[in-house]
Amino acid sequence: MRKKSQTEIMGLLTIVVLFIFIGLIYIMLAGKADKGSLTRDVVQSEKVQSLLSSFMQLTPCYSKVPYDQMDVIIKECYTSSGGLVCGEPCKEFIIAEMDDVMKAYNPRQEYEFKILKGKEEFISKGGCTGASETKAGSVDLRDITIRLTYCIK
């Protein structure tokens, strides 16, 4: 009789172990990484790039006809190493315009805006120190690069 009850206990133990095993597998599968995050990453990168491309096309100053687009303003500002746009020094004007654009599109978004020739910074505004992740877009105008970076978290 002792042998029989031992067999019964072993059987019960097997079932309990089986249940625990199945439960663990379920928890593992349910907690798997979210595959949707890849699409979100790509969409975020595209948004930064689109925003920067749109910024380059803007005609922010209406005092001079025909209106100059931002890419022309930036090129002229760089080649002439200064100059005025709409009565303002061109560097300040460009920075202010980017600030206005970011406030209008996403006021809570921290960003970094740079205009570079190689490693030399012509314009720099903001920064992403402390951000665990960034998403950047860039536009090349012959020898200068305009870069916009979103700081994420």
Across 53-82, b (16+ Cβ under 10 Å) vs e yields eebbebebbeeeeeebebbebbeebbeeee
Q: Which of 68, 51, 48, 50 is nearest to 59 (CA)?
A: 68
Nearer to another protein, 6 or 54 (CB): 54
Does 84 help bind another protein (rule: CB under 8 A)?
no
Closest distance to another protein from the beta carbon of 9 (Å)? 14
Q: Are 95 and 113 in contact (CB under 8 A)?
A: yes
Closest distance to another protein from the beta carbon of 81 (Å)? 26
Start-end of H helices in 31-111: 37-57, 70-79, 90-105
CA 59 to CA 14: how far, in whole Å?
Answer: 75
The footprint of another protein on residues 8-67 (CB under 8 A) is 15, 19, 22, 26, 29-30, 34-36, 39-40, 42-43, 46-47, 50-51, 53-55, 57-59, 62, 66-67
The footprint of another protein on residues 119-148 (CB under 8 A) is none
Number of residues that bind another protein (CB under 8 A): 31
Using CB under 8 A, list all residues that contact another protein.
15, 19, 22, 26, 29-30, 34-36, 39-40, 42-43, 46-47, 50-51, 53-55, 57-59, 62, 66-67, 69, 100-101, 104-105
